[in-house]
Structure 1
Amino acid sequence: FQDLFGVSMVVPLMNLHIKSLGASHTVAGIIGSLYGIMQLFSSTFVGCWSDIVGRRYSLLACILLSALGYLLLGTSTTVLLFAISRVPVGIFKHTLSISKALLSDLVSERDRPLVMGRFNAASSVGFILGPVVGGYLAELEDGFYQTSFICASIFLLNAGLVWLLPWSEENTGSRVHQQDSKGTDSFSPKANCDLHLKSATNGALPSESLFQSPWLQVVTVLKRIKGIACSDLWDILLVRLLMSVAILLYYSNFSLAMEERFGVKPLFSGYLISYSSALGVLAGCLLGPITRLYQHNTYRLLLHSSTLTCTLILLHASALSIWMIIFSSTFLAFSTTIGRTCIIDLELTIGGNEASGTLLGVGQSVTSVGRIIAPLLSGIAQEFSPCGPPSLGVGLALVAVLIMNMNKQKYCSHRSVKLKKK
């Protein structure tokens, strides 16, 4: 909550600040793109690094270096300083991914979707409240600088919480792994990850070697990334990419399309987006009952949510009245929230011997690719029609659903997809 609350206070104000420093639209766009590119290449490495050195130290390092970036942002009086301040944030702002990896280590497969849903719900609340507070602070004298310093202070507070909280990561993880590994022919990725982390043959590092073997850490990171690249995860990652781009296309020209199609003011579009975000929080809290309804079958839930997302984006693109837009936005908030949680759970489940931090890092890199591709596709599609971007999103989502159906036998035969009952 605090992480996204602090970030969402600053992010909406950044374009205004860099323009006030004299930067052109092109320079502002280049700096924004460089941040996305840094996130693209660093997320996999940082996630894998967290598997090697442990969640606590990697999380502390990422929080402190992100705090440094926002502190520098609060002192940026030139475009160059602004660009430099984005470097540590672009490389190390992976606190949410590491937190998710930690939760994956500590909870059972059965409870993982529920816990991830609640985690996403708490994060969404922070993202809803942050822009409101940031907008209020921006109206004060030197408001952007004050907002940046407050954001950095929030990150320092989070670092203190991480340091002070009792840590029994390995013991708790081992206990959960042992519980999950009972029974014949059972599939436990967390148990495999635990062995992967502790086994010297797999390149794991003991805690006393944390600061003594940097080169060994780099070699181990590269080995694990190679293992992911050679694994049987291509279809899951492709589905994640297609669905991410489809959803990004839906939101890419939302306000402009509403104004051109229905004459709706941007204020109403903002209220509608906030309404959808609030429903997304509710959807995260309801993941427990929904997963129980599906008997913890992650694949089936993901397939149905992706199909619903595709249908709702199609309804949005072909809507003849604003009420159809409101209707599609209402249920789209539920389907996208459920889909995001399920794709992460499916990655961790099917991933097998790969560690959770590496898997989440790779998944985040795939999403970053989508963030780079989506604006380009949106601009091209919008040349033809205001409904072009969501219509293209429908096609991509449909391809994702078809890929899942083509691999249905693989998922259904995999014992890990249907989580074990107590």
Structure 2
Amino acid sequence: LFLPSFQDLFGVSLVVPLMNLHIKSLGASHTVAGIIGSLYGVMQLFSSTFVGCWSDIVGRRYSLLACILLSALGYFLLGNSTTVFVFAISRVPVGIFKHTLSISKALLSDLVSERDRPLVMGRFNAASSVGFILGPVVGGYLAEFEGGFYQTSFICASIFLLNGGLVWMLPWSEENSSNRDHYQDKGTNSCSAKLNHDLHSKSATSRAVTNSSFFQSPWIQVAAVLKKIKGIACSNLWDVFLVRFLMSVAILLYYSNFTLALEERFGVKPLFAGYLMSYSSALGVLAGCLLGPITRLYRYNTYRLLLHSSTFTCVLVLLYASAGSIWMVILSSTFLAFSTTIGRTCIIDLELAVGGNEASGTLLGVGQSVTAVGRIIAPLLSGIAQEFSPCGPPSLAVGLAFVAIVIMNANTQKYRSHGSGKLKNQ
């Protein structure tokens, strides 16, 4: 799964940086380009929860293959987009079904033990990040040739088709049997007995019909999806998702005006800001590889690691907002790459640990929707804050991160008891 995740973001990052240039070359105005981009985000917002829950109902194999092939169709249409209308149509299947990485994470969560999950997720994120670092370089090189955008789109579609073949070759029978053992061994590991009882009973039913549910009536599948979403909505996971939302908006605010703020505050050219962001991305890959030793150092207590990484992130963003020299910015960016990578992995692990692995697809889908809401709100907040000062967005980010830390501290007993129980059971 690490190889498809690398190829996934490599293919996407070939195309995404060139899309604005392409749609403008088709004659679209800035407003039309912005509307199409916003519609893609809205489709992602509403589809992530349903697709994640659908993967719990019909099984990871069919849902992952469907998402990969339909995403490939979207990028193939993009490679044939000679008008703005075709360009907009090509974004529909990608906007609805480009949840391949989320379903892959849910599959990894099914396969590994709770103790090894942060390590495996960290390596998975690292593999994906390497693809996102290399993709823009190759895409920019290909864009120099005539018809470069169309070539990169077809290459991206071909990569997704290759990923479909790799996923089809996975040993699914072994995965299903290990899944059942995994669920049986972890029946008592959750700190939320009511939620786990509900999700476990629903998952037992869904696992019993996984092999045939893909061929059931769509209405039956929709009813099952809505029932699982209702179970999540009525659970006590609101604080976990609120922390994820606040920290996501805080990080998005930090990056929202990064290039412009560096230019206004320190007279730094955009090229240097680009190098600095690439440097941070490379360090994020390293951080993902170091998650194993770090989680062992914290005795696999996800809550404590998340609390400390969020606190560190808050302090580093504050340091960036008050930096008096470019060297302070470089210092804060260096350590932010580690704290944000660790925080993203820990919040996913905490969602699965508190909510239970039985609905991992639904939980990850809801988490993606929460982050998508942050992506919609963050630009608006950044614009308002930037009216007052170039340091406005990161200053607001500090406040939001502080609120997230307060919420985590208010629920210390619940998460701490969960962490100790998890170690005891293991």
User: Which residue pairs with 1:149 in the alignment?
Assistant: 154
The separation in 2 between residues aligned to 1:103 and 1:206, in whole angstroms, is 17
Correspondence for 1:10 among 4, 15, 39: 15
2:324 equivalent to 1:302: no
User: Which residue pairs with 1:334 in the alignment?
Assistant: 338
Asked if 1 retains the 8 angstrom alpha-carbon contact of 2:189 and 2:425, the reply is: no
2:25 equivalent to 1:27: no
User: Which residue pairs with 1:321 in the alignment?
Assistant: 325
Letter paired with 1:39? Q
The separation in 1 between residues aligned to 2:78 and 2:46, in whole angstroms, is 22
Deviation at 1:304, TM superposition (A): 0.3
Letter paired with 1:75? N
Deviation at 1:204, TM superposition (A): 6.2
Correspondence for 1:406 among 400, 407, 410: 410
2:274 equivalent to 1:270: yes
Correspondence for 2:69 among 59, 64, 75: 64
Give the unaligned 5+ runs of structure 1. none
Deviation at 1:175, TM superposition (A): 2.5
Secondary structure of 2:390's aligned partner: coil
The separation in 1 between residues aligned to 2:55 and 2:230, in whole angstroms, is 16
2:230 equivalent to 1:226: yes
The separation in 1 between residues aligned to 2:176 and 2:281, in whole angstroms, is 35
User: Which residue pairs with 1:169 in the alignment?
Assistant: 175
Paired residues, number: 417
The separation in 2 between residues aligned to 1:396 and 1:359, in whole angstroms, is 23
Letter paired with 1:187? S
TM-score (norm 1): 0.95
Correspondence for 2:59 among 31, 41, 54: 54
The within-5 A match list for 1:165-314 is: 165-167=170-172, 168-181=174-187, 186-187=189-190, 196-199=202-205, 205-314=209-318
The separation in 1 between residues aligned to 2:403 and 2:341, in whole angstroms, is 20
Quickly say closer, same or farther: Cα 1:213–1:390, change in 2 above 3 A: same
Correspondence for 2:399 among 395, 398, 410: 395
The separation in 2 between residues aligned to 1:419 and 1:115, in whole angstroms, is 18
Q: Deviations over 1:73-118 (max 9, x none)?
A: 0000111110000000000000000000000000000000000000
User: Which residue pairs with 2:133 in the alignment?
Assistant: 128
Asked if 2 retains the 8 angstrom alpha-carbon contact of 1:196 and 1:353, the reply is: no
Secondary structure of 1:140's aligned partner: coil
Deviation at 1:210, TM superposition (A): 1.9
TM-score (norm 2): 0.94
Deviation at 1:398, TM superposition (A): 0.5
The within-5 A match list for 1:339-354 is: 339-352=343-356
Letter paired with 2:71? S
Letter paired with 1:171? S
Deviation at 1:146, TM superposition (A): 0.3
Q: CA RMSD in A?
A: 1.8
Deviation at 1:415, TM superposition (A): 5.4
Correspondence for 1:117 among 114, 122, 134: 122
Correspondence for 2:386 among 382, 389, 394: 382
The separation in 2 between residues aligned to 1:293 and 1:11, in whole angstroms, is 38
